[in-house]
Amino acid sequence: MERAFFAKDASYDGLFYTGVRTTGIFCRPSCPARKPLRRNIEFFPSVDRAVFAGYRPCQRCRPLETDGRPPDWVERLLAMVDADPERRIRSADLRAMGLTPERVRRHFQRNYGMTFDAYCRARRLGGALEQLREGADLDSVAYDAGYESLSGFREAFSRHFGTPPGRGRRGEFIRVAWLRTPIGPMVAGATDEGLCLLEFTDRRMLERQLSILGRRFKLSLVPGDNDHLRQTKDEMDGYFAGDLREFTVPLQIVGSDFQQRVWNALQRIPYGETRSYKQLAKSVRSPDAVRAVGQANGMNRIAIVIPCHRVVNADGRLGGYGGGLWRKQRLLALEQGQSRID
């Protein structure tokens, strides 16, 4: 997908879509627009997945039609939604435009994999999630998204994002907050027991990451703060200043027995040192499981604190890193005293 997108290969149009984080749009592979940096894109298998992730269609490559030219009446509808995503377009509005709701529903279902109502709802929910993620009040977000009742908003949110937006406020939940670092923003999540998520926000689709976390812990996620998140922020500041070499924030890790053994072994790699994947495999008493160790390393959800960046190839080359090799290089340089990250 990456090769096809950067080569503007039209033969892949309709097979996948590319979201551009810096602009909030999604495109076809053949989009003629200037291509963004690799770390600023993510891929989707369908239109509905891109829209529900909060992206809007590109006006240059028009990904909502394989030939880039939707019928005039569809173009008018899409323009209405783009101009005011919170507007509720009802059957009476469609009839006033000379359209039958049945025709509109069939066209959107056949071409985009969802009804027109679902498309409008996705655009509203994408914006609502962004507001909640930034700490907005649940009530105001629900009404801004065009829902006449909180129950309707909760039901729609739960259906599309996997967790009710405010359920956790009545009991245990995962608080989620943003952290600014010198090498890019991160999102942190913590329960009452400890830190359970620390990821660079451009590593993967954030909504999917949060949804996976909620399912694994069987808890709701809400924007907020707690002692563990505050401690994480303080320790991260100390780490990047070069003053802190060992994190003490409590962790709550969920994974298979093998994954947890690998993640525990990562925490035993001393600051400023590296280990090969083979050495890491030996340390968890599975010397032949180098590939499995690499996969577990890549599944680490608590970056830096669980230092998966300290694992390199046997020949000393950096190898892969979910946050990007440039970040891995800077983190290792910081720990080895070669540079300071300001």
Ramachandran angles phi, psi of 42, nearest 5°: -145, 155
Q: pLDDT higher for 278 or 69?
A: 278
pLDDT at site 169: 40
H-run or E-run covering 174: strand 173-179
Rg of the chain, C-alpha, whole Å:
22
User: Is the pLDDT confidence value at 123 over 80?
Assistant: no
166 three-class SS? coil
The half-sphere exposure of 237 on its side-chain side, counting CA atoms within 13 A, is 8
Q: pLDDT higher for 183 or 206?
A: 183
pLDDT at site 342: 55
Read off the pLDDT band of 160 (50, 70, 90): very low
User: Is the pLDDT confidence value at 257 over 60?
Assistant: yes
Q: Is 308 a catalytic residue?
A: yes
User: Is the pLDDT confidence value at 141 over 80?
Assistant: no
Give all strands of the β-sheet with 173-179 in edge-to-edge order. Answer: 195-200, 186-190, 173-179, 220-223
- Where does the chain have alpha helices with state H? 2-6, 47-52, 72-83, 91-96, 101-112, 116-133, 138-144, 150-161, 206-217, 227-240, 257-267, 277-283, 290-298, 325-335
Residue ranges and CATH numbers for the domains of the chain are 2-119 (3.40.10.10), 169-233 (3.30.160), 257-335 (1.10.10.10)
Highest mean pLDDT among 59-73, 120-134, 161-175, 279-293: 279-293
Share of the chain above pLDDT 90, in %: 33
Place of tokens 């992730």: 53
Question: Average of pLDDT values for 56-79?
Answer: 80
User: Is the pLDDT confidence value at 325 over 60?
Assistant: yes
pLDDT at site 203: 63
In one-letter notation, the amino acid at residue 38 is R
Share of the chain above pLDDT 70, in %: 78
Read off the pLDDT band of 231 (50, 70, 90): very high
Q: Give residues with Cβ within 8 angstroms of 325, minimum separation 6.
A: 318
Q: Give residues with Cβ within 8 angstroms of 63, minimum separation 6.
A: 17, 26, 27, 28, 31, 47, 50, 57
pLDDT at site 252: 93
CA 138, CA 27: separation in Å to the nearest integer? 31
Question: Average of pLDDT values for 128-153?
Answer: 58
User: Is the pLDDT confidence value at 304 over 90?
Assistant: yes
- Residues, the chain: 342
139 CA to centre of own chain: 24
CA 202, CA 223: separation in Å to the nearest integer? 18
Read off the pLDDT band of 44 (50, 70, 90): confident
User: Is the pLDDT confidence value at 37 over 60?
Assistant: yes
pLDDT at site 214: 77
Give the pair of three-digit tokens for residue 308. Answer: 């998966």
Q: Which one of the listed residues 31, 61, 196, 308 is annotated catalytic?
A: 308
In one-letter notation, the amino acid at residue 124 is R
